[in-house]
Amino acid sequence: MLRPLYLKENDAIALVAPAGKIDAGVIDNAVAQIRHWGFRAKVGDHATASYAGFAGTDEQRRSDLQAAIDDPDTAAILCARGGYGCSRIIDTIDFSPLLTSPKWLVGFSDITVLHARLQRIGLQSIHGAMPKTFPPAPGDDDSLRSLHEALTGALTGYSIPPQPLNHAGKARGILRGGNLSLLVNLAATPDDIVPNNTILFMEDTDEHTYALDRMMTNLHRSGKLRRVAGVVAGQFTMIKRDAIMPRQKDTCTLLSHYLKRLDVPVCYGFPAGHGEPNLSLYLGREAVLEVPDKDTANSPAQLYYV
């Protein structure tokens, strides 16, 4: 897949809000962070607009994202937050300029929809922190440091602490995925998951255990899980226990009910998603996942790019 150029000093980052509405103070803080990194910030015309729970009308959000895509001076597009809204505008965006002038798109959660479209057209992107989750003042916490490394090309991979439910193995494939709810929601659309030759990353937040089980059942029954090369399970935060599902020790146990059936490496507890830190991942890039055998319990799993 096409890889955009890494950012260098004084490159421009466009700030857009294609989903949920965002406070102006969050945008101001993001501008300060971008300048702290030595880049220029270009704020979308409607980035702080409000229409119900959205950052403006569908047309306003579409217009800002399209302008950032079309702008030859923009090197990266940073989405302000997730929430909901990308699915409403995805089919009205012309992504073709990115095929001749690739640029990074950054975000997570609802931005999974945009990542999926970019993978469909053959472009890499960054699953990473957004202004909504930035600290209240410019700095260099783990999430921001990881995002800066991804934007500038310094990110090569990660070591992940061992987890008892990990499944050993080694796989090579295209890293794809994002928010589990959105991945299931994309089923039967043009941006549906491509499972073959895929290392699947998934994360989620604020769901009931029965809803997570239903999503995993969908991936299992559709045959997608059986065709992936490996799985990286990220953060599952604010998960609500309920009386419908049998008692689960934790969310990883629920996921393992489906993932342990696969003859592929599975890594749990990757620090990306709606928790802290939210480390950046290159989606659409070929990666290797190595998960050691349980006999080497103190050895971390490895996820690195090739």
Q: Which sequence positions are flagged as catalytic?
A: 109, 203, 274
Q: How far is CA 210 from CA 42, 202, 224, 268, in A?
A: 42, 17, 20, 19
- Burial grade of 168 (CB within 10 A; 0-12, 13-18, 19 or more): middle
Q: Dihedral (C-alpha) 198, 282, 75, 36: value to the nearest 10 degrees?
A: 160
**Collapsed DSSP state (helix, strand, coil) of residue 85:** coil
Q: In what order do the strands lie in the sheet with 104-107?
A: 40-43, 12-16, 74-79, 104-107, 125-127, 281-283
Strands 266-267 and 230-237: parallel
Q: How far is CA 121 from the centre of its chain?
A: 17
Task: Tell me which residue has tokens 């945008």.
Answer: 27
Task: Tell me which residue has tokens 């895509």.
Answer: 69
Structure tokens at 33: 């962070």
